[in-house]
Chains A and B, each alone.
Chain A
Amino acid sequence: MEKITGAEAMMRALENEGVDILFGYPGGAIMPTYDALYDHKETLHHVLVRHEQGAVHAAQGYARVSGKVGCAIVTSGPGATNTVTGIADAMADSTPLVVICGQVGVAMLGTDAFQEVDVVGVTSPASKWSYQIRRAEDVAWAVSRAFYIAKSGRPGPVVLDFAKNAQTGMVDYQPAKVDFIRSYDPYPQLNMDNIKQAAKMINDSVKPFALIGQGVEIGGARKEVEAFLEKAQIPFGSTLLGLSALPTEHPLNMGMLGMHGNLGPNVMTNQCDLLIAIGMRFDDRVTGKLSTYAKQAKVIHFDIDAAEFNKNVHVDLAVHGDCKESIPAVTELLDEAKHDSWISGFKPYAEKEFNKVIDKAINPKDGPLLMGEVVRKVSEASNNEAVLVTDVGQNQMFGCRYFKYTKPRSVITSGGIGTMGFGLPAAIGATFGAPDRTVCMFCGDGGLQMTIQEFGTIMEQGAPVKIILLNNNFLGNVRQWQAMFFNHRYSFTPMANPDYELIAKAYNIPAKTVVERKDLDKAIAEMLSTPGPYLLQCAIKEVDNVLPMTPPGADVDNMLLEI
């Protein structure tokens, strides 16, 4: 058998896993691998980002929109540490990634060699698995194990720390296939007693309410969950990351949960008699104060990650498993039911929220442009079929609240750790993961500048990202909190801005700025009909607030509609 280098083995192992795109940035300790990549350019499309954080976020965007494992490749030391934010983000948001970092040769490990960082030590608390490849012989096994771990069970990021000697060492390459790890069970078998008990609890319930999380999206269980909810007519709310798991306009969809979610689902959480959580993790942004959260209700929790049970909220029944299997098993045992009066109880809250908040946010008559109206207009202009990518801040909350979702995998936002700078590179990745879909990225003037160097990647790749910059000359979200909780003391949140149109133009990205409401529709139409990337800057009202809001630590049903 011919001997090949560990670096070449890495290329073949990646191809063997079905990888066709890598987001990366080269450097000393990964050069042998980049040299091997040069011969695989046709099969492994490499996207040269402009900062390693961008590589990981792009891989995340790719993974979230496609359901495939996103792959990033960087050098040791600073290259690797630049990926940490993205790795932590992917861990919190259950995104399957394989991040390959160069590393110094094993002979130099632990000597503070040039560009040596203890990458496994730094990344293992924030990743699903972190492994150092020390010999070329281990490449095939480690890559296969990495992909298996990243995508199975509750997905997450895996780090491969690839020592230089393992890249240059010679090996008889044999493809490996890891599809079983005895200490790790990503396919838990259903416990039929639990299924029966769940069905009984639901059949006995008069006021059931379901919470839909990203697990439904990840599990590809839209049909199964829809059938479940429809059979027993169970109203539901979605978490931020679960917003596109089911269509916005589904008659049982009561809206978004959480701090800036809709009034109805939050209030009714504390009125239902049964809470059915599916693929969600009771994040504090969803629950508010735990001691008053759904205390009147029994709780059933469906999840694939056993460590989520009873972590934040005490559950009466935990159903461990993949919701694509567990939910249909329960559906079969459900009685057909109607909960008309319970469901109609959500209506007054929806009306109240519409009158006090939504109408003002999306249909303003005068004054400067508002984020909500821009978002809703873009959504509608794309026939509500676009992929929404957001950065973090007010733009994210307005984006997620007022976009409408028809297709699965349509929300890409940094939920768990709220990473500013996530939006732009994630959107680049999304254009590769869903080349047939329109990708609309909303961001603020703060977050855009955190990864604005990725304009270079967009230019080079022609990535058709529609960038909608909601420019309010403030770090808006922090300013809102300063207004609410710090006596309007705007400590370092006003921001002097550059000419973004000029910057975009420097990167050959067509750009336009809208100031007047009357110009908005046309500008959006132009953005969507222009092939390739586009920057639409909207001059947004400087001081505006995301509402409604459950202040941090307040009761879930105690939402402010105005401040």
Chain B
Amino acid sequence: MATKSFGGQCGDCTTCGKCDKALQRSKPPVQQQIKETMKEMEQENSTKLYTFIIYSENVPGLLSQITAVFTRRQVNIESLNVCASSTPGAHKYTITCFCDETMAKMVVAQVEKRIDVLQAHYFTDDDIFINETCLLKVSTPVMLANKDVSKLIRFHGAHVVEVNPTYAIVEKTGITDEILHLYESLSKLDCVLQFVRSGRIAITKSFTEHLDAYLAEREKRRQEK
């Protein structure tokens, strides 16, 4: 009884999940939620999705220092990808967040201030080529029963990478919207058992390689010493 009245009182039925209403309301598909937040965030003053590309030395503990800068400024990280870069010894972080440009500049400055960070920049989607990957685990019986499933997979240019009598694994690479669209369409057919989306990776469209230029400049300074 008590839980029910709590659920009603809190007025935020999508989060507490303690009453029947919560069950009904917690249904809106993920992609719709994401799109809605995107729209809301973009409408709110000048908030945009920015992609931060950060290069650092490969030292332990830096990831938490970098994410702490975002958290302290109350910027929520939407996606994060970290791995070795093409520059020996340097790690590359690709982080996306909604914020305004002033905040993006501030975050970049604070991140660069960490001793072992080489460079940090922020970009809008126009400045970079981006990619994401998703994996979907799809029910084989449903797929066999409903031809639309495989039609959709082909239509979206996704690949089936594994099939067995219970499930198939579908892989799709593209931009966020394409991936969400595929997921949305497939979930309407009630065949999705699992869904996972990777963080974004990105490459700049610029004709100069800022990191290389920076490292060359630093090397020159080292030799001058």
Contact = CB atoms under 8 A, between A and B. Distances in A.
Interface of A: 120-121, 124-125, 128-130, 149, 179-185, 305-307, 309-311
Interface in B94-114: 102, 105-106, 109-110, 112-113
B117 interface: yes
Contacts of B72: 125
Contacts of B222: 180, 182
B65 interface: yes
B144 interface: no
25 contacts: A120-B61, A124-B64, A124-B68, A125-B65, A125-B72, A149-B115, A180-B221, A182-B57, A182-B118, A182-B215, A182-B218, A182-B222, A183-B115, A184-B115, A185-B218, A306-B109, A306-B112, A307-B106, A307-B110, A307-B112, A309-B109, A310-B102, A310-B105, A310-B106, A311-B106
A181 B115 contact: yes
A413 B111 CA distance: 28
A258 B26 CA distance: 50
A42 B48 CA distance: 61
B116 interface: yes
Nearest to B110: A307
A127 to B, nearest CB: 10
B56 interface: yes
Contacts of A310: 102, 105-106
A163 B222 CA distance: 31
A121 B115 contact: no
B112 A121 contact: no
Contacts of B61: 120-121, 124, 130
B113 A183 contact: no
A329 B118 CA distance: 29
B68 A183 contact: no
B205 interface: no
A130 B115 CA distance: 10
A468 B60 CA distance: 47
Nearest to A311: B106
B117 A183 contact: yes
A465 to B, nearest CB: 35
Interface residues of B, number: 24
A181 B225 CA distance: 12
Contacts of A183: 56-57, 115-118
Pairs of residues from A and B, 7 with the lowest C-beta to C-beta distance, nearest first: A307-B109, A182-B218, A307-B113, A183-B118, A129-B115, A184-B115, A180-B222
Contact of A125 (B68, B105, B115, B118): B68
B135 to A, nearest CB: 32
Nearest to A308: B109
Contacts of B112: 306-307
Interface string B54-90: 0011000100110010001000000000000000000
A311 B102 CA distance: 9
Contacts of A120: 61
Nearest to B102: A310
A309 B112 CA distance: 13
Contacts of B212: none
Nearest to A306: B109
Contacts of A182: 57, 118, 215, 218-219, 222
A27 B58 CA distance: 33
Interface string B208-222: 000000010011011
A119 to B, nearest CB: 11
Given A307-B109, A310-B105, A311-B106, A180 B225 contact: yes
Nearest to A179: B225
Given A130-B61, A149-B115, A307-B110, 12 more contacts: A120-B61, A121-B61, A124-B61, A124-B64, A124-B65, A179-B225, A180-B222, A180-B225, A183-B118, A306-B113, A310-B102, A310-B105
Interface hub of B118, B218, B219 (most chain A Cβ within 10 A): B218
Contacts of A181: 115
A75 to B, nearest CB: 22
Contacts of B118: 182-183
Nearest to B117: A183
B89 to A, nearest CB: 10
A309 B102 CA distance: 11
B36 to A, nearest CB: 31
A447 to B, nearest CB: 28
A121 B65 CA distance: 9
A380 to B, nearest CB: 42
A120 to B, nearest CB: 6
A305 B57 CA distance: 20
Interface centre among B68, B109, B219, by most chain A C-beta atoms within 10 angstroms, is B109
B149 to A, nearest CB: 46
A182 B56 CA distance: 10
B37 to A, nearest CB: 27
Nearest to B56: A183
B186 to A, nearest CB: 41
A174 to B, nearest CB: 20
A305 B218 contact: no
A164 to B, nearest CB: 19
